[in-house]
Amino acid sequence: MTASTRLAPGGEAELLDLGGLRRHLPVSLERLYENLLDWQRLPHVHAGDVQAVRCRSWGAWGWQADIADRHGRWALVALELDRGRRRWSARWRSGPRAGWRMDGEAEPAPAGAPGLTVTVRCLLPSRSGRGADRIGRVWAAWLTGFSALDEAMMVDRQRQLDRRIDRARDAERHLDLGPVADLRLPCTVTLAGREFVVARVADALCAFPARCPHQLGPLQAGALADGQVVCPWHGDRFDVATGENLSGRPCVLSHLPEVRVDADGRVRVSATH
C-alpha cells in the first residue's frame, strides 16, 4: 500500500487517489471473476461488514445492489467487470461513502507461475482529502482482511473442483463407523470418493454432503439446527433428511447416503449413487 493524496490521473481530477494495494492470489482468473460477480456471498462470508444486500440487477457485466453495512446504513454500489482488460471497478453511488471508487486489475503471474497479481486502488472525492493518509491506511487494513476471506473461499472452491476431477473411482461405498454409543456426532466421513457429514436429527441418524451443491461451499462448517443446515457461503438452507433446498434455489442435496444401526449396534453408511 502506497497511500498518497495526489489527484487521480486520467481526467478524474475530482478524485483523490489513496494508492494501490497489490497482492498475489493463488487462484485463476475464472475463480476471481466468479468471486467478483458473487454479490450473494457478501452478508454471509463478510457478515462482519455487510448486514444485508438487495440486488437490483446482475449479469456477466457485474451487478448493482443496495448494501447495508454493519451499522445498517444503506448504499447503492455498482460493480462493473471488464474481462477484456482484466479490470473491474466498484462505485458507491449513495450512502456514507457516496463517490468512492475501487478499481482493480489482475495480471497473470510471471513465467507460467500459478495465480494472479491483483492491484486494487481506492479513489475518493477530493473534498474528503483531509486525513487521506490515515483513511488510506484504514482502507488498506480493511481490504487486506476482506480479501483474505475471499481468497480462502476461492482457494477452497478450486480445491474442491480439483478433488472432484481426481476422485478415485474404486472408492469405498460402504463404511462401518463402529458402535453407535461410541460415535461422536456430527462427524465427517469419506464415502464413494465424496465427503459426507453424519449427524443426528431428532432421534434418527442421517448423512448429507459436506459440500454445498451450489458452489461447493463448506456445509460441514454450516450451522446445523432443527434438521436444517445453512451454507456459510450464500446462506442456502437445506433439509438434511430429504435434501430439499428450503431457500428456493434449484440445487438440492442429492444421493443422500443410507445410514442404519444394525442389530449388532454398529452404525453403517452406504452410498446410494
Least distance (Å) between residue 215 CB and ligand FES: 4
Rg (Cα) of the chain, in Å, rounded? 23
| SS3 assignment, position 160 | helix
Least distance (Å) between residue 235 CB and ligand FES: 6
> What CA–CA distance (Å, rounded) separates 214 from 207?
18
> What CA–CA distance (Å, rounded) separates 245 from 242?
9
Least distance (Å) between residue 233 CB and ligand FES: 4
Least distance (Å) between residue 164 CB and ligand FES: 14
Residues 6+ apart with CB under 8 A from 59: none
Count of residues binding ligand FES (CB under 6 A)?
Answer: 8
Of the pair 17, 236, the CB lying nearest ligand FES is at 236
Please enumerate, as own/partner, the contacts of 152-156 that have beta carbons within 8 Å and a separation of 24 or more: 153/35, 153/41, 153/45, 153/233, 154/25, 154/27, 154/31, 154/32, 154/34, 154/35, 155/26, 155/27, 156/216, 156/218
35 binds ligand FES (CB under 6 A): no
Of the pair 20, 209, the CB lying nearest ligand FES is at 209
For residues 230 to 259, the per-residue mask of contacts with ligand FES, x marking binding by CB under 6 A and - elsewhere, is -x-xx-x-----------------------
Considering only residues 106 to 135 of the shown chain, the ones binding ligand FES according to CB under 6 A are: none
Of the pair 194, 214, the CB lying nearest ligand FES is at 214
Least distance (Å) between residue 61 CB and ligand FES: 21
Cross-strand bridge partners of residue 224: 229
Considering only residues 184 to 223 of the shown chain, the ones binding ligand FES according to CB under 6 A are: 212, 214-215, 217
Amino acid at 108: P
> What CA–CA distance (Å, rounded) separates 47 from 49?
5
Of the pair 105, 151, the CB lying nearest ligand FES is at 151
Is the C-alpha dihedral spanning 261, 262, 263, 265 positive or negative?
Answer: negative
Of the pair 207, 212, the CB lying nearest ligand FES is at 212
**22 CB-contact burial (10 Å; exposed 0-12 / middle 13-18 / buried 19+):** middle
Least distance (Å) between residue 196 CB and ligand FES: 16
Name the site residues for ligand FES (rule: CB under 6 A): 212, 214-215, 217, 231, 233-234, 236
